[in-house]
Structure 1
């Protein structure tokens, strides 16, 4: 499959839109050299560690605009989870400030493995933007290929993006519980968190009963780039996830689960995102908790 050309419908109910969800470094470099209008969003984000803006200031793709995952791509943390959906007007305003326009091409990147970039990709798709791509391999792939970087603050022409929510399927706690028994619910967290052996962030350890563990680390290679579609299809098939079943995914707070959605998309499998994820699930003491491998 050519990641640099338009993508036909993969049987995903229109989730892919008009362009392939990934773009490689050489293809992006060609677009920029031709001065093709592209909005570059730098969404480097670390669950633990220095804020992404510090990485952006040390160096970023020329013309890229920093987007704060916590402030711009999620609503305030609370009962809905640590990274709930933002209000449409807030997301629209943030994307306009970053230069996103309704029909313009957007390319999103993070450090390497696309964990944060995938949440921005998913959010833009959810709110109705159909020309957004993730730089496969992120900033690391760009610099390792010898492409130029900049420390200058990018000038931004405000965009005209209009947020139209509901363009991708989502789950709430009830829907996730139902899917865990009637379909396939994938838990995108690391295996030790799924099993309940450790929980570094949320107050309760374990997983949603019936969910199957599919850590997002298994979606990419050591270079942070996504595995080929055929390998992703094989991986998800071993977990029971195919395009013949209803599939959903969750994680700790709906960030890495968006990475799982992108990987499933590449495999041609439509899937719904439980945005609140585990951080929402555990706010209700009536929700059951499972531990171990099953």
Structure 2
């Protein structure tokens, strides 16, 4: 090696170390909710993956993604790509770990990546796409994940978008099921006997039994459940702050801490309530009843009609 090489090699090594360290820091300075400025600042970090899950809830599709997306983002349609599946007649359920590993790895995501999940950012219903995918990553034991507060709309209002399609190289992703985040029918039955806090995140009309989901066998709510409607957890696509969420739970008669099960019709809105409780308020005993009222009513569960 010549004299120039003796000087250049250490410089290149130092640059590589700085680059790698910056990438590692990108994954550690993220909160469960990140804003558009954070995403813009980290969009080029090699271990940050922006996952755009816009879908038919807001009339979005792959074509919409190609017309404009956060630079470097990869696309996966929440309603069509396999994030949820039908099981025992109940739609919208958590797929097998193996299926999710294949889906996530196919998006170029590995276990070292920090994933930022991006919904359209128009409403609570829409933001449930992001929180449900977020919850899925958590259920798989992947804690390096955030939701873009305000969704795609928040980013698009401030920064330039990219066009076209990004095809990621497949990666290896390994999940490890975290059952403490999931409540099943048997656990809900036990919760009814023990007085565990039950948070119904459906619109008030459904909570009271004046309307129901088409897949549910009958209207009503779980006996003793309290209503925190999904639409009150966000202002459009932006989450209410911690104090507001705490006030909503108190108003509904729910504790801020302790055993709690969030539910809705099929676990979509419930992920929004779980995110607010588990991630924003920090109640690590909160769970999602994946099957929710559809699973409960199709299997003869007792309901309470309040209207």
TM-score by length of 2: 0.82
Instruction: Please give the residue correspondences for 1:180-219 in structure 2 after superposition, counting only pairs within 5 Å.
Output: 180-181=192-193, 182-203=195-216, 204-219=218-233
In the alignment, structure 2 segments of 5+ residues that lack a partner are 1-24
Instruction: Please give the residue correspondences for 1:221-240 in structure 2 after superposition, counting only pairs within 5 Å.
Output: 221-222=235-236, 224-240=237-253
Q: Give the structure 2 partner of residue 61 of structure 1.
A: 70
Whole-Å separation in 1 of the counterparts to 2:181 and 2:240: 24
Q: Give the structure 1 partner of residue 271 of structure 2.
A: 258
Higher percent of residues as helix: 2
Matched, 1:26 2:37: yes
State which of 49, 59, 62 in structure 2 corresponds to 1:39. 49
Matched, 1:150 2:180: no
Matched, 1:278 2:293: yes
Summarize the Cα distance change of 1:78–1:89 in structure 2 as closer, same or farther, 3 Å threshold. closer
In the alignment, structure 1 segments of 5+ residues that lack a partner are 1-5, 7-16
Query: Deviation at 1:18?
Result: 8.4
The aligned length equals 272
- The Cα RMSD (Å) is 2.2
Whole-Å separation in 1 of the counterparts to 2:75 and 2:230: 24
Asked whether the 8 Å contact 2:226–2:254 carries over to 1, the reply is no
Whole-Å separation in 2 of the counterparts to 1:22 and 1:244: 20
Asked whether the 8 Å contact 2:131–2:275 carries over to 1, the reply is yes
Query: Deviation at 1:127?
Result: 0.2
Q: Deviations over 1:173-221 (max 9, x none)?
A: 2212332452110111111111121225324222111111111111112
Asked whether the 8 Å contact 1:38–1:105 carries over to 2, the reply is yes
Asked whether the 8 Å contact 2:209–2:220 carries over to 1, the reply is yes
Whole-Å separation in 2 of the counterparts to 1:62 and 1:188: 33
TM-score by length of 1: 0.85
